[in-house]
């Protein structure tokens, strides 16, 4: 039977360690729990908020309605042929463990996404990405439960409307579905992507010319740990901002004024690293009370102790205002803000 608790502290359930309380709270460990939660929420006229690993959310002091902590775990192979495998994970499964299992099995496609915190169910919501790879590149389908009716629906890649750190679940269908499982089409033959970031460079420095999957994720772990703070040590939610994309004419204008501006192509647009913009605006390593910008990576906002959501948002506003004034570029948050 599903246990509904009242006024539950969520600080240990979010990697920012924000002091936040759920008006109502329940842990779901199987599909029947989700259906029971939907029934309870309808009977008590309460909205539902789904909480996965708490790795990409900024929580306010009190979350109204019923917070569901997703602990539905498991993985499996749905189909297989000589070239690929359809690998599925239930939504409460750790994303890091999911990638590790794929690597152990020798399947290619998500190794560059290793060590991204969070759950399997959160991965399509954000269309997570790293080192030149995005989830949509190997996504096949997901199964979700309508939080109003309790009915299941299968979403294809087209249905999800994936974009840069975005999907239909972050806008039109935000708060409408509980993602139950995610299936990815992974390849059995090596197709490593090592040209983005420092992966290829670090492998060569170690004398590894033909890396295997385990060597790739070992390098990624080394790179990420050298640049990014561990949430358990310094609370954060990873990248707080998206890298803005601008037109080529606007980029040409900026290049004249800032010859050392960082950039990389993004289809018909140019993507500017948000970390570079924030650094140039003078915020890298700065601290405002307990809210701060990480000293090694300006893309990451950190909680030095007792920062509240209001403190983080005040810093966010300062950063966006300064970047807009200096470069004429509007920064957009990647993190999900729940107030």
Q: Is 24 exposed, middle or buried (CB count within 10 Å of its CB: 0-12, 13-18, 19+)?
A: buried
Q: Residue 277 in contact with residue 242, Cβ under 8 Å?
A: no
List residues with catalytic annotation: 165, 239, 334
Q: How far apart are CA 88 and CA 186, in angstroms?
A: 10
Quote the tokens at residue 177: 């579905």
Q: How far apart are CA 173 and CA 134, in angstroms?
A: 21
Q: Residue 119 in contact with residue 178, Cβ under 8 Å?
A: no
Alpha-carbon separation of residue 102 from 87, 107, 180, 220, 224 (angstroms): 8, 5, 19, 15, 20
Q: How far apart are CA 191 and CA 110, in angstroms?
A: 11
Q: Residue 103 in contact with residue 214, Cβ under 8 Å?
A: yes
């Amino acid at each position: 039977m599903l246990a509904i608790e009242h006024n539950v502290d969520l600080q240990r359930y979010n990697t920012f360690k924000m002091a936040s309380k759920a008006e109502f709270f329940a842990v779901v460990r199987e599909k029947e729990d989700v259906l029971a939660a939907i029934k309870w929420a309808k009977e008590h006229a309460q909205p539902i908020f789904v909480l996965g690993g708490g790795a990409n959310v900024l929580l306010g002091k009190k979350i109204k309605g019923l917070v569901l902590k997703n602990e539905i775990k498991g993985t499996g192979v749905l189909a297989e042929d000589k070239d690929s495998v359809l690998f599925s994970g239930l939504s409460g499964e750790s994303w890091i463990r999911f990638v590790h299992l794929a690597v152990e099995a020798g399947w290619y496609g998500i190794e560059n996404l290793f060590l991204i915190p969070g759950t399997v169910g959160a991965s399509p919501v954000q269309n997570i990405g790293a080192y030149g790879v995005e989830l949509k590149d190997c996504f096949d389908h997901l199964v979700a439960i309508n939080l109003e009716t309790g009915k299941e629906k299968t979403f294809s890649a087209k249905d999800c409307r994936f974009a840069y750190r975005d999907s239909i679940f972050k806008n039109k269908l935000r708060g409408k579905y509980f993602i139950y499982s995610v299936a990815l089409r992974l390849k059995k033959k090596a197709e490593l992507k090592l040209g983005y970031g420092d992966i290829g460079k670090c492998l060569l420095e170690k004398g590894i010319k033909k890396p295997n999957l385990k060597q790739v994720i070992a390098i990624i772990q080394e790179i990420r740990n050298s640049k990014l703070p561990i949430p358990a040590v310094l609370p954060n939610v990873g990248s707080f901002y998206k890298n803005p994309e601008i037109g080529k004419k606007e980029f040409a204008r900026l290049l004249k004024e800032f010859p050392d501006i960082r950039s990389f192509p993004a289809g018909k647009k140019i993507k500017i690293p948000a970390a570079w913009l924030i650094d140039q605006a003078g915020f890298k390593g700065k601290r405002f009370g307990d809210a701060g910008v990480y000293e090694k990576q300006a893309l990451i906002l950190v909680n030095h102790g007792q920062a509240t959501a209001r403190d983080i948002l005040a810093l966010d506003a300062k950063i966006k205002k300064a970047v807009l004034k200096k470069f004429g570029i509007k920064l957009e948050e990647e993190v999900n803000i729940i107030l």
